[in-house]
Structure 1
Amino acid sequence: MLPDPRLAWPGPPLARARALHVSGVVGHGEAEFARAAEAIATWRMHDGAGVRVRDTSGAAPARAEVGVRVRVRLGPLPLGGTCRVVDVGSDGRSAWVTYATEPDHAERGTERFAVLLDDDGDVRGDVAAWSEPRAWPLRVAWPLGRVGQRVIARRYLRALARLSRPR
């Protein structure tokens, strides 16, 4: 499935980069869209998927804003690194956060997290990325890494579905 045409692909392809795109319905209606958009902008979607996001001082970051740098880590694993937010937006029917990896990150690339309100009222979560491993051990294990990326992307969507529901 191609990314929604309302959203730009998150960055140019890199030499050895592979594209990742996972999308699915996470709710229905404007209220659930608003909650899902807030979960993306406040990093709660990441936390709900087991991905730890902290600002560079180690505190939980408030909101995603262009230029903000965050440390991203997959649970207790030593995978991840620093990312810089390069795009944040909302137009009433779509909302997104895009970040690019910094040199200390295990991968080089960009990733976009979005939520879209379709004409029929469905709320769709959308994760798209270009990435390539930086270190040779990760390049060797890249096929396994791609499986892991898809698993995490689906976890993002499940977390987004939980967080968009009425409380």
Structure 2
Amino acid sequence: MGATAGVLPAGYRHTRAALCIGRGEDTFLAASDALSRWEVHRRAGLRVEASGPAARGTDVVLRWCGFRIPCRVVYTIDGPFRRGFAYGTLAGHPESGEERFCVERRADGSVHAVITAFSRPGRWFTRIADPAARAVQRRMTARYLRAMAG
């Protein structure tokens, strides 16, 4: 299991964000299905080249604004109230770290999109432009959360 499943490592930026995306089983199932099929990433504006649905060991290359963003799914979550996955960055990714995408159905019936991540600059240009890279990461986190709502 990856580090986003527990205490996030020191020396990285930490991101934790959530958004209520609706209520009920239908919302939970639709959002978790879209997430596992990479549809959430497409809705967020990325091109997706994946070797299959999000499963442990699946490689995916995301493309955005000319950037090639390679990742590998390091674990999945498949429970009755929580579903999702985490991927880690691969060589060539602008950042170094891990990001978990999760859909949670809570006791009150509400359904939440939840993102947990840790990262730091992984390439020379993201080290130089770190404030801009942080802004992009915040923007993409918000887009992912909204995209889980459909």
TM-score by length of 2: 0.90
Quick one: distance in 1 between partners of 2:68 and 2:81?
31
Q: Which 4+ residue blocks in structure 1 deviate beyond 4 angstroms?
A: none
**Aligned partner of 2:61 among 64, 67, 71:** 71
Q: What residue in structure 1 maps to residue 43 of structure 2?
A: 48
Quick one: distance in 2 between partners of 1:124 and 1:130?
20
Q: Deviations over 1:23-49 (max 9, x none)?
A: 110111011001011011110000001
3-state SS of paired residue (1:99): strand
Q: What residue in structure 2 maps to residue 33 of structure 1?
A: 28
Mind listing any 5+ residue stretches in structure 1 that lack a counterpart? 1-6, 56-60, 163-167
The Cα RMSD (Å) is: 1.6
2:98 corresponds to 1:101 = no
3-state SS of paired residue (2:5): coil
One-letter amino acid of the structure 2 residue matched with residue 145 of structure 1: A
- Contact 1:14–1:131 at 8 Å: present in 2 too? no
Displacement after TM superposition at 1:8 (Å)? 2.2
3-state SS of paired residue (2:88): strand
Displacement after TM superposition at 1:140 (Å)? 2.0
Q: What residue in structure 2 maps to residue 21 of structure 1?
A: 16
Displacement after TM superposition at 1:62 (Å)? 3.6
Q: What residue in structure 1 maps to residue 70 of structure 2?
A: 82
Provide the identity percentage. Answer: 35
**Aligned partner of 2:124 among 99, 120, 136:** 136
3-state SS of paired residue (1:34): helix
Displacement after TM superposition at 1:12 (Å)? 4.6
Quick one: distance in 2 between partners of 1:143 and 1:38?
34
Quick one: distance in 1 between partners of 2:96 and 2:73?
14
Displacement after TM superposition at 1:79 (Å)? 2.4
Quick one: distance in 1 between partners of 2:129 and 2:108?
41
Q: What residue in structure 1 maps to residue 112 of structure 2?
A: 124
Q: What residue in structure 2 maps to residue 157 of structure 1?
A: 145
Quick one: distance in 2 between partners of 1:150 and 1:26?
18
Q: What residue in structure 2 maps to residue 165 of structure 1?
A: none
One-letter amino acid of the structure 1 residue matched with residue 9 of structure 2: P
Displacement after TM superposition at 1:141 (Å)? 1.3
TM-score by length of 1: 0.82
